[in-house]
Homo-oligomer: A and B are copies of this chain.
Amino acid sequence: MKLKSSHSHGVVVAILQVIFFVLFIIFAKYHPDADARHNPLVNGTQLEKKLSKYHSGDDWGHSKLYPMFQDVHVMIFIGFGFLMTFLKRYGFSSVGVNFLVAATCLQWALLVNGFFHLHYNTIIIDLNALLAADFTAAAVLISFGAVLGKTTPTQLIMMAMIEIPVFVINEVIGRQYLGAIDMGDSMFVHAFGAYFGLAVSFALYRDDHSTEKEGSSYRSDLFAMIGTVFLWLYWPSFNSGAAPGDDQHRAVINTYIALCSCTLMTFALSSLVDKNKRFNMVHIQNSTLAGGVAVGTAADLMIQPWGAMLIGMLAATISVLGYAYITPFLASRLRIHDTCGVHNLHGMPALLAGIVGCVAAAFASEDTYGPSLYEIFPKRAPAEGSEDLSRLRANLTDLDAGPGYSAGGQAGNQILALIITLVIAIIGGVLTGFLLRLEIWGRLRTDDLYEDEKYWIIEEEEEEHQMSSVHIPMTSPADNGTSK
């Protein structure tokens, strides 16, 4: 009986939730900004408050961040969820299991991020922490894309539980120790998530991975476009949400431009690589987004509008050619099967992002950035007591001293952070993958690959309106014939 489950994913999820609950009791507290005791409202606002139940009220710490946070939130659940519904028989799992995994990641990321930034043994929860949790979830969902349709829910949940601590360790090394900057998280989220997922996929490789269910249908491709377009639209919020002031404005502009140029090049190349000059939905759904990834690391830097445009064009080129030539090669030669092509959407464009970040850092100077150079690259700030620091503090009294890296030093650390990310992601992913092969997490039979019926109750009766006409011959059966 194929539906018998040798283990219960329900129990695993319930136990995890109880563990999260216990850890929250012990560690989690509201940020003072969200704590009633620390915020006696100032005079005058009470009156306003009384005027209306629905009252926009007083400012709180990060209220301006909220709309961008919601954009990112939509990307995680609608964007990633629907993007993966392209598989014709795996829609419930794509949007549903994405929902489960993401909600797991959010809680676990709040805890793990918190453990690495404890304040008096307390994890502080505020809107920034919620947003950081969403970013962390993105890495796991990217990895999910590489193994889509080939794992049990329990395997995915376990992957998330392992991936998140590895993710946070890598980010702390790169961002904190190396001082690498990565505004849109292209290295720390996209490169990490993609190569971790590809490494897991390598470890889980099976010869029967390509079945006829691994394809899309006309309607499932339209559902996937919901995901694509929302990701595309809100990507400027992803790349700029964490940026301050004018950096945020610049990150919005650069991402918008890179996505536009990437979209045109994707359509152009998609048509050019097809012998009949037709567009390929796989490219449109994925490669149009590569520009957002590729511009991520340098999104807040002074790369100029044309720089952003060039990055988008290159990203599309890499990505479409990747789908056409590299993905088949990876599957057949390297035994790395990549269901969603995350290597083309996230992996290679993130490598490009890392390189762009390095180049942009190498050319960054006070001429172009003014004193804000030392705020964008804190490791470049001059050492305490230096003349330079005194000069700068004339304008920026609060400027912190730093190790005084040169432009070259910063650029080197950018590349180092990228390499370390790749190494940690690949090793972490392979080890995780082998762990996921344990019988205890279950294993799909060939028939269950890319198939919802194993884990979802599917209504068998299908009497829709769209069925009403199935006897009518097609207008031009010949046409349909020729397209096959």
Contacts and interface: CB of A to CB of B under 8 A. Distances in A.
Interface residues of A, number: 198
Interface of A is mostly: helix
A103 B376 CA distance: 30
> What's the number of copies of this chain in the assembled complex?
3
A419 interface: no
Given A244-B58, A369-B36, A217 B128 contact: no
Contacts of A229: 77-78, 81, 95, 99
A115 to B, nearest CB: 15
B482 A8 contact: no
Given A249-B127, A467-B469, A43 B462 contact: no
A41 to B, nearest CB: 6
Interface string A46-83: 11011011111111111111111011011001100110
Interface stretch (A197-205, A298-306, A383-391, A433-441): A298-306
A460 B476 contact: no
A473 B308 CA distance: 49
Contact of A40 (B33, B129, B276, B372): B372
Given A3-B482, A57-B248, A215-B459, 4 more contacts: A49-B375, A66-B67, A103-B260, A276-B457
Interface in A304-358: 304-306, 309-310, 313
A53 B107 CA distance: 19
A151 interface: no
Interface stretch (A22-30, A409-417, A422-430): A22-30
A28 B310 CA distance: 13
B242 A54 contact: yes
Interface in A75-134: 77-78, 81-82, 85, 88-89, 91-92, 95-96, 99-100, 103-104, 106-107, 110, 125-132
Given A370-B40, A371-B40, A462-B466, A400 B46 contact: yes
